[in-house]
């Protein structure tokens, strides 16, 4: 059997990485023994002792730390999933708008993408939390019918009550990632030959329909891989939720680590949780890829 050079390179890389990891683990073990700490996960089953500002499953401070971590992981999952949906809507809209025939739409979308990408995400999250949401009046008001009610106590959408913290993280992550997705979508649209646009236009098909039925389906093979890396970025960036006091996995792990002093174990759990999250996103994207990308276009 003949192996390609890239295969050998891959193997060499794996060996190097494994060696490094081995050295690291060895160091860790030696240090743990020396300090007399030893790896232990017993603390996970002790009462957490701290409150969580929001939880989708029943939770009280007397529950175990493990339960607190699980509940906070669900908080992360919730805000990440909602942000992925909202960011995709924003991004596809803005990306398509950048190739619209309407010059005003084009400029607005260009402004959005240009502005948002200039400002660090942390700053944007702080803005949404402290300026936008906490700046709302304390009495709820409904800007568009009964659909949405806004106040500095929380946001109500179709009877659903969202905390101010959740809303700030959701909007912050979505607006930020939406701008990046807009660029991905624009690049994807540009990868479709001009002749395809001219062909649908020549048939009297309008821009919206042409985009949906002709151009986007052909742009997807170029868009999807970049899109999933934007989703992974979003998931990683969600850890900044700690800055506005949203009880996400990272924030709660941080509290637990501080209380128990179990930094190594805590980070291990964090690491595995995010690994699971990324695998989830990757798996989802692969399923999506199989559904929406036409067999003839798969590479």
| CB atoms inside a 10 Å sphere around CB 21 | 10
- Least gap, CB of 105 to other proteins (angstroms): 13
Instruction: Output 93 or 217, the one with its CB closest to other proteins.
Output: 217
Instruction: Please tell me the distance from the alpha carbon of residue 78 to that of residue 85, in angstroms, as a whole number.
Output: 11
Instruction: Output 37 or 288, the one with its CB closest to other proteins.
Output: 288
Instruction: Please tell me the distance from the alpha carbon of residue 259 to that of residue 61, in angstroms, as a whole number.
Output: 13
The burial of 148, by beta-carbon neighbours within 10 Å (0-12 exposed, 13-18 middle, 19 or more buried), is given as middle
Q: How many helices (H) and strands (E) does the chain have?
A: 10, 3
Instruction: Output 7 or 212, the one with its CB closest to other proteins.
Output: 212
Instruction: Output 66 or 205, the one with its CB closest to other proteins.
Output: 205
Residues at the interface with other proteins (CB under 8 A): 101, 193, 195-196, 198-206, 209, 213-214, 217-218, 294, 296-297
- Least gap, CB of 253 to other proteins (angstroms): 45
Instruction: Please tell me the distance from the alpha carbon of residue 229 to that of residue 181, in angstroms, as a whole number.
Output: 10
- Least gap, CB of 10 to other proteins (angstroms): 33
DSSP for 34-45 reads: HHT-----GGGG
| CB atoms inside a 10 Å sphere around CB 188 | 22
Instruction: Output 192 or 280, the one with its CB closest to other proteins.
Output: 192
- Least gap, CB of 228 to other proteins (angstroms): 21
- Least gap, CB of 296 to other proteins (angstroms): 6
């Amino acid at each position: 059997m003949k192996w390609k050079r890239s295969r050998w390179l891959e193997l060499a890389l794996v060996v190097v990485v494994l060696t490094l990891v081995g050295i690291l683990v060895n160091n860790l073990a030696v240090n743990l023994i020396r300090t007399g700490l030893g790896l232990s996960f017993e603390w996970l089953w002790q009462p957490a002792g701290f409150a969580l500002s929001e939880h989708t499953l029943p939770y009280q401070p007397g529950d175990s730390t493990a339960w607190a971590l699980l509940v906070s992981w669900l908080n992360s999952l919730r805000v990440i999933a909602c942000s992925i949906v909202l960011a995709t809507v924003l991004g596809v809209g803005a990306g398509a708008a950048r190739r619209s025939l309407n010059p005003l739409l084009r400029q607005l979308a260009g402004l959005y993408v240009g502005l948002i990408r200039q400002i660090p995400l942390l700053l944007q999250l702080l803005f949404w939390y402290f300026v936008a949401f906490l700046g709302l009046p304390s009495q709820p008001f409904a800007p568009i019918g009964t659909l949405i009610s806004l106040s500095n106590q929380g946001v109500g959408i179709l009877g659903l009550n969202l905390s101010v913290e959740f809303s700030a993280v959701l909007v912050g992550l979505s607006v930020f990632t939406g701008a990046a997705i807009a660029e991905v979508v624009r690049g994807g649209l540009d990868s479709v030959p001009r002749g395809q646009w001219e062909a649908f236009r020549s048939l009297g098909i309008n821009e919206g329909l042409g985009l949906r039925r002709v151009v986007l389906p052909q742009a997807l093979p170029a868009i999807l891989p970049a899109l999933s890396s934007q989703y992974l970025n979003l998931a990683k960036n969600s850890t900044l939720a700690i800055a506005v006091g949203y009880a996400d996995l990272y924030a709660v792990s941080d509290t637990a680590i501080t209380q128990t002093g179990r930094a190594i174990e805590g980070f291990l759990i964090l690491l595995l949780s995010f690994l699971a999250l990324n695998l989830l996103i990757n798996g989802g994207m692969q399923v999506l890829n199989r559904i929406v990308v036409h067999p003839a276009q798969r590479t």
